A and B are shown apart, each in its own frame.
Chain A
Amino acid sequence: MIAPIEATGLGKRFGRTWALDDCSIRVPAGKIAGLVGPNGAGKTTFLHLAAGLLRPTAGEITVFGRSPQGQLLLLLDRVGFVAQDTPLYSGFSVGDMLRFGRELNRRWDQADVEERLRSLDIPFDKRVGQLSGGQRSQVALALALGKHPELLLLDEPVARLDPLARREFMQRLTEAVAEEGSTVLLSSHVMADLERVCDYLIIIAAGRVQVAGEIEALLASHHLIVGPRLNANARLSGVELVKAQHTERQSSLWIRGPVPELGAGWREEPLPLEELVITYLSAPRAVTLPRPQLEEAAS
């Protein structure tokens, strides 16, 4: 099956800085994938490359097997994009924005979009500039959903929203994609936004993919073990260490793979997803995993 997004050795350079470097990512079909990383990690760059807004400097990216740069017209009907800060024409009324979507898209479900906005009590005659942040992002989401996209890309859609609006946005998003069975790639620098809705996670830092996989599999394969203080240079055999932290009296080890035989005084502690993500993000250079998702794909 053709993956909604497949990137191989993808790189993008702006001036002298590589915003994205040697990224290999495969977003599986039908999943809600989270793209998480700190500000400036390359999330926006990756989404823009997938949406055909940018051209890669190195490597390649395909969306449904086609290049978003060379064959964009074939993809525009199938890919929805909600850009960072949910840009809309602030002088337009909500109704004008809907007409904008209708005029510029061959595939467009006006009734569906109207219904979506009506259920949120967003008045059509109100100017976009006068909407609340939550309403604005709902309008942007409704617009992107208007063409029933098979792939929906969202760049930090809730970053500026209050917690209530965040929850409502995510709820609408998950409802909509559950109906349609679309694939979603959603970026955020706040893990809590993604945890509830995503079933696939891509952690990206400093332009590189740290880890990618099903959330359940990630949780099952990572462990935090805590025990008496180890020598900082101690070598651990048979353990893939993600991060080690030593206080005066104890050592904490974040490991990937099966939990080794634990000696006296060692115990396993729960490792919630958010902490797992932070672990990877706080050690961006220590670990760069070699394309686990591509190996999976080959098998």
Chain B
Amino acid sequence: MTWVTWRQHRLEALWALVLAVLLGGSVGYVALQLSIASGSCPRTIGFSTCLSSDPFGQIAQAILRFNLAQYGLVVFPALAGAFIGAPFVAREIENGTQHLAWTQGVTRMRWLLVKLALVFVPLIAAAALVGYLEVVFLNVQGPQVNRWDIFDQQAPVVPAATFFALALGVAFGAVIGRSIPAMAATLLAFVGARIGIAELVRSHYIAPLMKTTHDLSAVGNQADPTAWWLGFPDYYDSTGHLLGNLLGPSAGQPSYVTQSFQPGDRFWAFQTIEAAILCGLALLIVGCAVYWVTRRAT
């Protein structure tokens, strides 16, 4: 089975390796550059303050700006799901080769599970490695870095999303039986699920805290970049009357402000919860795919 899996998927393995090396390499390279540049920067000042005064800062910022890896990290799971997951069973069905594979001396269940394990594990491991490099890259930037904006590009969530996308691809491929429609369905479902989770579900993992303060500038990213500030600040006048979300000439005299937020020390809990949700969904979908291949597919 190992050889057969390798022979069938070696081209995909090569592509995934190239992509992972490019992503990992660029994240690692930028992280290295930053750590060199930040060597002389006291952690307490904050890295961005250092960068602007450091002669090497210009270079480091340029690297930061061109850090395509962050986009790559979002796209990697989707690509894996669409280009490796979706054709996984669909290509066999398209070519009629499932009738060959399923009438050898191996049951369909074993055929599917062994192949899935052999293809999924290295891909998820690669995603974990690249996601971990992104974490290293953020750590280099000091304690004041905003991790929430790049929530989807960090370690436990990236491999979990890769698992989820691959599972979706395999299941759609098995049920639809044709590669191209399965790829389209995988991409749509994956993007839909991720946006849905990010926009509707994520902020509820743990009940947010509410900050209420008379210091009108003590909310938002400028005040605490390590927190995830939810929605907009609500400004109130001294009588407790809501003025609105924006401070402007037409608004009355604001007295205090409230805004809900997730504090920075919850970040890893959120990563773990989301990774667990994605892995749970992925296992469920793999279960459906196994059911379909062993009982329904023809």
Tell me the number of A-to-B contacts counted with CB atoms below 8 Å.
Answer: 72
B105 lies within 8 A of A88 (CB): no
A243, CB-defined interface residue at 8 Å: no
- Of the candidates A83, A85, A99, which one forms a contact with B103 in the assembled complex, judged by CB atoms under 8 Å apart? A83
Chain A residue nearest in CB terms to B99 = A83
A76-B97 in contact given A54-B298, A100-B4, A104-B4 (Cβ < 8 Å):
no
Q: Which of B45-86 contact A (CB under 8 A)?
A: none
Known contacts A53-B298, A105-B105; is-contact A87 B99 (Cβ 8 Å):
yes
| Residues A99 and B105 in contact, CB atoms below 8 Å apart | no
Among A73, A83, A103, contact of B3 (Cβ-Cβ < 8 Å):
A103
In the complex, whether A291 has a CB less than 8 A from a CB of chain B is no
Q: Is A106 an interface residue (CB 8 A)?
A: yes
27 contacts between A and B (CB under 8 A): A48-B298, A52-B103, A53-B99, A53-B298, A54-B298, A73-B107, A76-B105, A76-B106, A76-B107, A79-B103, A81-B99, A83-B100, A83-B103, A84-B96, A87-B97, A89-B8, A89-B95, A90-B95, A99-B4, A100-B4, A100-B7, A103-B3, A104-B104, A104-B106, A107-B105, A143-B100, A147-B105
Q: What per-residue 1/0 map shows which CB atoms of A163-178 lie under 8 Å from chain B?
A: 0000000000000000
| Residues of chain B with a CB closer than 8 A to A92's CB | 7
Residue in B97, B102, B104 whose beta carbon sits within 8 Å of that of A89 in the complex: B97
**Is A276 an interface residue when CB atoms closer than 8 A count as contact?**
no
A contact residues, range: 20 to 34
Look across to chain B and name the residue whose beta carbon is closest to the beta carbon of A104: B104
In chain B, positions 115-168 with a C-beta closer than 8 Å to chain A are: none
Could you tell me which residues of chain A, from 65 to 113, have a CB within 8 Å of some CB in chain B?
A: 72-73, 76-77, 79-81, 83-85, 87-90, 92, 96, 99-101, 103-108
Chain A residues with Cβ below 8 Å from B103 are 51-53, 76, 79-81, 83
* Interface residues in A31-81 (C-beta closer than 8 Å to B): 48, 51-55, 72-73, 76-77, 79-81
| A-side contacts of B8, CB under 8 Å | 89
B121 → A minimal CB distance (Å):
19
Question: CB-CB < 8 A to A54: which residues of B?
Answer: 298
Cα distance, A106 to B1, chains bound together (Å): 12
Say how far B128's CB is from chain A's closest CB, in angstroms.
29
Please state if A83 and B4 are interface contacts (CB–CB under 8 Å): no
Q: What is the CA–CA distance of A82 and B74 in the complex, to the nearest angstrom? A: 44
- A residues in contact with B7, CB < 8 Å: 92, 96, 99-100
Min Cβ gap A45→B in Å is: 9
Residues of B contacting A87 in the complex (Cβ-Cβ under 8 angstroms): 95-97, 99-100
Residue of B nearest to A108 (CB): B105
Q: How far is the CA of A88 from the CA of B101 in the complex (A)?
A: 9
For B101, what are the chain A residues with a Cβ–Cβ distance below 8 Å? 104
Interface: B295 (CB within 8 A): yes
Residues of B within 8 A of A108 (CB): 105
Q: Within the assembled complex, what's the spacing in Å between the Cα atoms of A85 and B101?
A: 14
Partner of B100, one of A52, A77, A88, A103: A88
- Asked whether A88 lies within 8 Å of B97 as measured between CB atoms, the reply is yes
List the B side residues contacting A106 at CB < 8 Å: 105
